[in-house]
Chain A
Amino acid sequence: MTHADKVHPEEIKNVEVLTLRLRKLKKEWEEAEPQVYVDDTLLFTESWKETEGLPVDIRWAKAFEKRLLECPLLIRNDEIIVGSLTKFIRGNGTLCAMKPHEILEMCESGRFARKTSDTESTKITPEDLKALKEDAEYWVEHMPRVSTVNAALEYDMGPGVFDLLFDRGCVFEGRGVRYKMDRGLFQNFSAYGGGVAQVSAQCIDNGLNHVIDLCKKERERMMAEGDDEHSHGSAQFLRKYWLLEACIISCEAFIKFAKRHADLAREMAEKESRPGRKAELIRIAEACERVPAEPPRNFFEAVQCVRLYHLVCWKESSDRPEVPVGRLDQLLYPYYKKDKEAGMVTPQDAAELLGALWLKIRECENLVTIPRSQRAAPGSLLPNITLCGVDKDGNDLTNEISWLVLEAMAQIKLSEPAIYIRYNPDMDEEFILHALRCNVRFGGGNPAFLNDKLGTERYLERGVPIEDASNWNASGCLGYHLDRMEHVGGGHNINQLKVLELALNNGFDPRTQKQLGPKTGDPREFNGIEQIMEAYYRQLEYFVPILHKVKMLSLCTEITDGPMSGLRCAMQYEDCIPSGLTPKEGGARYPEGRTSWLGSRGMVDLADTLAAIKKIVFDDKKVTMAEMLEACSKNWEGSESLHQLCLNAPKYGNDDDYVDSIYDELSTHVPEIMQRWIDPITGKKPMLFIGAAAGHVVIGQSIGALPNGRTAGSPTNDAACSVMPGMDVNGPTAAINSATKKAYAKEFVGYAMNMKFSKNVLNTDEKLKKMAWLIKAFMARQGWHIQFNIHSREELLDAQENPERHKNLLVRVGGYSAYFIDLPPELQNEIVQRSMHDRF
């Protein structure tokens, strides 16, 4: 890590990220009609047919190579950073080998959904439609109808297992186990199968020629001396040979892909009459001739290299391209510093380049093949950027690029990438204010702040040395990983609220009308909350080993089934080359990382539900348990006042010990149960994940009305420790206190706190400072992840319609802050009006 020079905010505040040319490019993209892009899938299939009979690693690598060598390229007019996913200004990529049935269905219906919006179908030409349909048909013919994971689960556990999985009982939710989910050849959409490739600073800095060289040497060495990692003749020994070959093919393909861009740029330069543009094109050509084979020579080449990495990783991770961009400020800073000192780059130049990179990253879109209702994270592509952090010696690494990236975010105002700041208490307060100001300008939610110390400590506790432990970055939704040292995949989740629902129904699932869990007693006969909790724990104890089994079967089936390993191995070359294993197979330096995650969803709802039962049934004796359950089963129909009573019961997030103590007990006991069985893959305690991101909508659909006042099918709480919307009536400090009463974030990964403010509560630096203090106190109390949303106009409108859901909506009016719902309608209207025009 390069030591950061002092930042001069005035230099940064005046930069124009969206220069005229970028504004034009952005507008052009925004206005372009999305098109279905088919060239890559056709190339893939063509290669697949050509490589019939070769080892599967090679087949994947060759298919990847063919796409990179033959796909059409696009350099748009006036682009300064190049590398487009498709030949269209706005194209949606896809691979039929992933989900042929779903794509075929789309071809037949003529409707192509897309990631960002489903209101209109993505366009496709008649020729492309014909070709895509044929392609899909080929894969349908060559693929079994039911995914191999599902087949394996059914074989091993019987058809009853599907009653627990997503879309049926929904006790478990994991992307690899969706019932009837059709997967093609590659299971990489699943949480485990592929995971994703990641932009790696180490690879950029060393150049891929270095990696290719290592692969070749290792292969020669192996041939000459045998392999000391594995016994001769073992399957792994034999596999390693092909894996190294796959690495070489993938890296070389990537280098050639860059060279193709160089050639195109030169060709365009020759025809170009404007001398300025000509020079730019030559600069692009020179960069793409250099990187990624060799290390970048300057800042511009480094930015161009990051772009190419992101694009290629995206292509390789085809169907789940959540490619983390990593610690962008750390990666770019050494190049920037050197150029700036040499007078070759100014903050303004850097700002424009970052803006250009930003637009290219955001451009990548794929066709969506999952029905909207089942999507976990609608619209999210998760190319996360991580900033700041401290090094192994405790130095704050915030630098000028950290400032500029935030500025780019605020000026460009596109939903992604998401920015994560590794927060440490010694950070310059000016920087935090800059981040918060950018948050407000952006419209809220970005950046998020992560607890730097806690993140590093989690790795240290696992025995990871400080050099590696301090190099983590945000990935996926609410996850994090070590650059080039961990497998980046997801986790399997248990839906805690469903487990409780079963406990409240003696193991019977009201929705599927099946006995899914053990009979833990009829709650109508219970006479205290302890018995309810006991029944819930017993249900959980029954399901956790099953979850482990499902997870293991999913993973081992996918490992044998779907490789796509070449590029990913190459990116983790220090470990994967000697071991001859892909990251997902345990080749990563710290294999237990995200492969062992178990997710626990709905903890807040769980605590609220138990608190409401305790209060209304057992303490205040307002209704009997029988009456309560009856009202829930009717989704509150005819029990409106009981429903209201339930909504008014103590709720988590208000610093109210009545319910917080229940949350606390759950947070101790649930991990204890979930970690009682070791992870069958790593042989260690599973790591627990509690993030919900947008999965709360999906799991909520399977759960009926419950005593916390929820109605059947409504979303569960939207994050790990945020408060149910509208329920935090005591303000942000109370909400944070509930979330940090104990060091919960140590136990659970993904422990995110979402807070909402109205824009006009944040209109002066003085008030932003108060928000900065909230962050400081949150981190001091061992919080993990906090972000601030700004209320939208829609929300204000909804608050007018449904005041009960927005008890906490604080707005800034005149000289003070007021709860929105307390204001008379006319003034509410005024504020709604104003929310449209507020500008910072």
Chain B
Amino acid sequence: MEGIVYNIQRYSIDDGPGVRTTVFLKGCPLSCLWCSNPESQNPLPEVTWRYTSCKKCGICVETCPLELIKLDEDGIHIDRKSCDRCGKCVEACVQEALQMSGKRMTVEEVYDVVKRDADYYKVSGGGLTCSGGELLMQADFVTELFKRCRGDEIHTCADTSGFGTKEAMEKVLVYTDLVYYDLKYIDSAEHKKNCGQSNELILSNLVLVVEKGIPMVIRVPLIPGYNDSDENLTAIAKTVAELDDGIPVNILPYHRYGENKYRMIDRKYQLEDVESPTEEELDKAKKIIESYGLKCEISK
């Protein structure tokens, strides 16, 4: 079985307990305005351009058989609609400024990388995290991968937006030890407006995870001016607390660090004027969550 993977990060230190390897899967049905991994949204491989490494030598321009690459003083621009992902430009760029983001990999290939760090998982209680993109879009692949881990007693963590079918979620959960579950809005209209989809599936899948009794951490990205209203935070806290007030909530402060990645795939960043939340704003959000008896941490 094959999946489309756009990055495997070893010694990933923010994606769950212990030392972990995070497999980033490509393709996401949501399109949150603040997404810091825009290259993960498109389910197909795509060429990324790291402008800090580009020497503007123009070799790629000459290489592309479809003549899709243009060079001006800002760097290169690719006509992505017509690109057939042949990868010739990537191969030609000796500066490694061009990369093919997204690669078809078999479960075995991915697992080969994952198990290389088995010694580290063992001493730390770490393991594999599947992130994205949205892993539910590749549920069968993830399930197989997690199953392999279970066989070797490697801990598994699913980092999901919850947007997927019930069947997909059920399948994945069979071999999942921990769920990182993103909640952005409780109000469906707001969710649709800013994340591109309504959130009914997300909320019903949330209940499903709780029912299965799998350990879970709720993660709330805090985007000033978007989802940081008292109202929204209160709704999130309430929803979680009513399900199980033992579920910890983590707040992920917004940052602009994904901004450059838009340029890498010829896209425009939507949230140009938004700043990271201040200490006070974070503290306030934390207090709201805690007022519902929930444990809340701010990721640093």
Contacts and interface: CB of A to CB of B under 8 A. Distances in A.
Interface string A710-752: 0000000000000000000011111001000000000000000
B123 A731 contact: no
A815 B299 contact: yes
A780 B123 contact: yes
A804 B50 CA distance: 12
A777 B300 contact: no
A813 B116 contact: no
Nearest to B14: A816
Given A648-B94, A777-B123, A827-B260, A733 B19 contact: yes
Interface in B7-34: 9-14, 18-19
Interface string A803-832: 110000000011111100111110100000
B252 interface: yes
Contact of A813 (B11, B122, B123, B257): B257
B119 A777 contact: yes
A823 B257 contact: yes
B117 interface: yes
B147 interface: no
Interface string A757-772: 0000101100101100
Contacts of B19: 733, 770, 773-774, 777
A774 B19 CA distance: 8
A474 to B, nearest CB: 24
Contacts, number: 94
A641 interface: yes
B52 interface: yes
Contact of A803 (B9, B36, B52, B253): B52
A176 B96 CA distance: 45
Interface residues of B, number: 36
A655 interface: yes
B119 A641 contact: no
Given A733-B19, A764-B300, A822-B50, A776 B123 contact: yes
- Dominant SS among interface residues on chain A: helix
- Dominant SS among interface residues on chain B: loop
Most buried by B among A732, A769, A776, A822: A822
Contacts of A733: 10-11, 19, 116-117, 120
Contacts of B11: 731-734, 770, 774
A815 B255 contact: yes
Contacts of A781: 119
A644 interface: yes
A645 interface: yes
A58 to B, nearest CB: 57
A30 to B, nearest CB: 34
Contact of B13 (A767, A803, A823): A767
Contacts of B117: 733, 737
Most buried by B among A763, A814, A824, A825: A814
Interface string B107-150: 00000000011011011101000000000000000000000000
A644 B95 contact: yes
Contacts of A817: 12-14
A774 B300 contact: no
A770 B13 contact: yes
A342 to B, nearest CB: 41
Contacts of A734: 10-11, 116
B171 interface: no
Contacts of A815: 14, 252-253, 255, 299-300
Nearest to A642: B94
20 contacts: A644-B95, A645-B94, A648-B96, A734-B10, A737-B116, A770-B11, A770-B13, A770-B18, A770-B124, A773-B19, A777-B124, A803-B52, A804-B53, A813-B255, A814-B253, A816-B257, A821-B50, A821-B53, A822-B260, A827-B259
